[in-house]
């Protein structure tokens, strides 16, 4: 579970409507049964009447409903402006070090940046910066740059220090970099919230919504399968993905062409390949998918493999529904599944503009839902 900041810090943040904490935590108001972003402009509750949650999902499962003013389940849960500012700073000079003092100089608390990146990106901000430096170094070595230029250009004062850091990251010395591959990961803003994508030089291997609980396990699986380091960066495969996702959300793309690689057991591959055969705008039940792949009695196994799909949207597991037509589960959240199916049925276009979910059905919360939850119920979430 993502770690929450200290309670006193969260209280200060929501009382000041500090938008830099949006996405770091959510607050549930016991007297109204509503949960909000820290920056919500509504009247602020007394601290004694507030519960804090690391994710919107936790707040929903605790019985709270989303605020109609700040829309904490807005489809564009985009990164806060200060996060985009940090990412832009790294992108403008990926070979440079960004010390905590420089982060403070930008008006950003380094501890807050560390927590946000750890929660949403699976690594601290400094780890992200190190990965970017190493990824850029690998790229330049492959292009024939001299080792001296690469070493000094990425903040290292000696060859030994650079070689050690490079070896830890890629499992090989810089001299073998031309034969070294890695999985480059990039964060892509979308109308349904940020996505994290991973690709080797030749194939897309990961596409997930950043808040998915299985994300850390997916990274572990990728490292085990490909035996490659994972570092921030971009390449031609990820550029293609960005372009195709943009056109998909605009309703202008019905079939992805980005090259895919999805290792798994023979049965898992059959399921994932079966998903690729579900037409755009159509759905298939788990039973129908099991029949389609020649395993008519394996609906449960099909559902399990469907949940392990590592490439959201591109391998369209959102097109699988329950037998009666209800949406069923979805790793990225049922509300996203609903929006994707609406998009593919031509009922809406998402583009890259803000979309809200105020019309998504929810159960009405009691006046004080959290107070009536016992400790064992809370612990499950």
Query: Is 113 contained in some domain?
Result: yes
Query: Is 87 contained in some domain?
Result: yes
330 and 294, same structural domain?
Answer: yes
Query: Helices 110-121 and 81-92, interaxial angle, to 10°?
Result: 90
The answer to whether 196 touches 215, Cβ cutoff 8 Å, is yes
Could you read off the pLDDT tens digit of each residue along the chain, which spans 381 residues?
456 888 998 999 899 988 778 877 899 998 888 899 998 988 889 999 999 998 777 786 677 888 888 888 664 445 678 888 888 888 777 667 788 898 999 888 888 888 888 776 667 788 777 766 666 655 554 554 444 444 444 444 444 554 555 455 544 444 444 455 678 888 788 888 788 898 998 999 999 887 666 666 777 788 788 887 777 778 899 999 999 999 999 999 999 999 999 998 999 999 999 999 999 999 999 999 999 999 888 888 998 898 889 999 999 999 999 887 777 778 777 778 888 998 998 876 665 433 333 233 323 333 333 333 333 322 322
Query: Is 116 contained in some domain?
Result: yes
Tell me the C-alpha distance between 45 and 322, whole Å.
40
163 and 96, same structural domain?
Answer: yes
144 and 56, same structural domain?
Answer: no
165 and 93, same structural domain?
Answer: yes
What is the predicted pLDDT for the residue at 172? 47
What is the predicted pLDDT for the residue at 135? 62
69 and 91, same structural domain?
Answer: no
Domain of residue 68 covers 7-74+364-379
What is the predicted pLDDT for the residue at 3? 67
Report the CATH number that the domain containing residue 26 is assigned in CATH: 3.40.10.10
Give the residue from 180, 196, 220 where a domain finishes: 180
Query: Is 217 contained in some domain?
Result: no
Distances (CA, A) of 27 to 17, 33, 44, 46, 52: 12, 10, 10, 12, 5
Tell me the C-alpha distance between 142 and 345, whole Å.
45
- pTM for the model stands at 0.55
What is the predicted pLDDT for the residue at 319? 94
> Is there a catalytic annotation at residue 40?
no
The answer to whether 169 touches 180, Cβ cutoff 8 Å, is no
336 and 296, same structural domain?
Answer: yes
- Positive or negative, the CA dihedral 158, 159, 161, 162 is positive
Query: HSE on the CB side for 84, CA within 13 Å?
Result: 10
Query: Is 32 contained in some domain?
Result: yes
Tell me the C-alpha distance between 378 and 3, whole Å.
15
Query: Is 39 contained in some domain?
Result: yes
The answer to whether 194 touches 210, Cβ cutoff 8 Å, is yes
What is the predicted pLDDT for the residue at 349? 62
170 and 105, same structural domain?
Answer: yes
Report the CATH number that the domain containing residue 117 is assigned in CATH: 1.10.10.60
Query: Is 274 contained in some domain?
Result: yes
Tell me the C-alpha distance between 374 and 371, whole Å.
8
Domain count, the chain: 3
Report the CATH number that the domain containing residue 331 is assigned in CATH: 1.10.10.10
What is the predicted pLDDT for the residue at 360? 31
What is the predicted pLDDT for the residue at 372? 35
Q: Which of 201, 200, 188, 278 is nearest to 241 (CA)?
A: 188
Query: Is 259 contained in some domain?
Result: no
């Amino acid at each position: 579970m993502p770690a929450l900041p200290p309670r006193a810090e969260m209280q200060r943040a929501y009382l000041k409507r500090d938008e830099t904490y949006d996405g770091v935590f959510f607050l549930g108001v016991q007297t109204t049964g509503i949960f909000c972003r820290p920056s919500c402009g509504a009247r602020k509750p007394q601290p004694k009447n507030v519960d804090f949650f690391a994710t919107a999902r936790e707040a929903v499962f605790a019985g709270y409903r989303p605020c109609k003013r700040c829309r904490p389940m807005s489809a564009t849960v985009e990164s806060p402006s200060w996060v985009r500012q940090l990412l832009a700073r790294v992108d403008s000079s990926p070979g440079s070090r960004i010390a905590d003092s420089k982060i403070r100089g930008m008006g950003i608390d380094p501890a807050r940046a560390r927590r946000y990146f750890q929660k949403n990106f699976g690594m601290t901000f400094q780890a992200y910066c190190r990965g970017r430096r190493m990824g850029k170094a690998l790229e330049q070595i492959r292009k024939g740059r001299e080792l001296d230029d690469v070493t000094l250009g990425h903040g290292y004062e000696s060859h030994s220090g650079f070689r050690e850091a490079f070896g830890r990251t890629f499992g090989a010395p810089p001299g073998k970099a031309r034969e070294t591959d890695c999985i480059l990961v990039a964060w892509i803003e979308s109308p349904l919230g940020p996505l994290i994508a991973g690709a080797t030089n030749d194939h897309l291997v990961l596409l997930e919504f950043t808040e998915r609980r299985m994300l850390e396990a997916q990274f572990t699986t990728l490292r085990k399968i490909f035996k490659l380091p994972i570092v921030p960066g971009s390449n031609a495969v990820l550029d293609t993905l960005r372009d195709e996702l943009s056109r998909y959300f605009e309703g202008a793309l019905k079939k992805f062409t980005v090259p895919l690689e999805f290792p798994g057991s023979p049965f898992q591959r059959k399921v994932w390949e079966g998903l690729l055969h579900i037409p755009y705008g159509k759905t298939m039940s788990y039973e129908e998918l099991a029949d389609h792949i020649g395993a008519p009695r394996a609906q449960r196994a099909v559902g399990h493999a469907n949940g392990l799909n590592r490439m959201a949207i591109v391998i369209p597991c959102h097109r699988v529904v329950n037998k009666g037509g209800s949406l069923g589960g979805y790793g990225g959240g049922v509300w996203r599944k609903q929006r994707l199916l609406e998009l593919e049925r031509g009922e809406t276009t998402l583009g890259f503009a803000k979309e809200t979910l105020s019309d998504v059905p929810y159960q009405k919360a009691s006046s004080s839902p959290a107070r009536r939850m016992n400790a064992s119920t809370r612990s499950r979430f």
